[in-house]
Amino acid sequence: MNVSFSGAPILDDLTWRAERGQITALLGPNGAGKTTTMLTCEGLVRPDSGLVQVLGLDPRADSRALRGRIGVMIQDGGLPVMARAGELLAHIARLYAHPRDVVALARQLGIDAFARTSVRRLSGGQRQRLALALAVVGRPELVFLDEPTAGLDPQARQVVWDLVRALRDHGTAVVLSTHLMDEAELLADQVVIIDHGQVIARGAPRELTAPPATNQPMMVHGPLSKADLQALTLFARERGLRLSAPTGGAPSDGRRTLEDVFLDLTGRGLR
């Protein structure tokens, strides 16, 4: 897909696929295009060109048909501030033909503890849990989760991870964006790394962090631009090779963390 705003390209021939019964993590620096990608798949942004299909349908033209089949959790998602948390969850559940058990879902995410509290009085973490519940209460076939554990304490994060895994195990396609590399490495079946509106790496976490297929060393000499380094790193990843800088070390078996891979691909400068 291709998307631009005021003539400036945001997504540039970006191509990827999320499978049913898998968790797909979208990673990328700030401004890389993750949110635009998810909004386009949700039918909230129209691509300039290219094909976008969600459950085999056009997310804009077929939005009515998709409405009951997908769930969406977005950051700071405009929840009605005067509504009480429990009443809002029960109301959204009634919009679906076969919703989840609201009482059980509220208990699982700890919403029952603040069910009578208005949204405007909820903490950031409580709003996150409520937004997640609203996204999954309709038993979606596909759910988009935008940084689902942002602002959560460790206990709540574990509960959310368990729920996301359960969605995957029941055949739901889960697409989540996150800045937490450990979260992506623990949860994701496949990782898609986006930068400057393009997919620069994809694969299972173990594939992306795999040790080299051979120990025969090679060296590349000469100045490298950021684009050169990204292309070289992607080339090496796809072939099971390892790149290393003159300083700093890697684990003794050659395996790196997903954060190492991410920084190699996108650079270490602030955005």
Binned at pLDDT 50, 70 and 90, residue 6 comes out as low
- Give the position of tokens 């699982």: 108
- Asked if 168 and 16 touch (Cβ cutoff 8 Å), the reply is no
CATH 3.40.50.300 domain range(s) in the chain:
3-192
Is the confidence at residue 71, as pLDDT, over 50? yes
Quick one: pLDDT at residue 190?
97
What percentage of the chain reaches a pLDDT higher than 90? 65
Rounded to two decimals, the pTM is: 0.82
How many other CB atoms are there within 10 angstroms of residue 50's CB atom? 13
Quick one: pLDDT at residue 98?
94
CB proximity list for 202: less than 8 A, separation 6 or greater: 16, 190, 191, 192, 193
- In 3D, which of 203, 233, 238 has the Cα closest to residue 17? 203
Mean pLDDT highest for which of 42-46, 89-93, 237-241, 266-270?
A: 89-93
Binned at pLDDT 50, 70 and 90, residue 241 comes out as confident
- Asked if 196 and 33 touch (Cβ cutoff 8 Å), the reply is yes
Mean pLDDT across 181-200: 94
Mean pLDDT across 217-230: 73
Quick one: pLDDT at residue 8?
75
CATH code, 3-192:
3.40.50.300
Is the confidence at residue 271, as pLDDT, over 70? no
Distance of alpha carbon 36 from alpha carbon 40, whole angstroms: 6
Is the confidence at residue 181, as pLDDT, over 90? yes
How many other CB atoms are there within 10 angstroms of residue 21's CB atom? 13
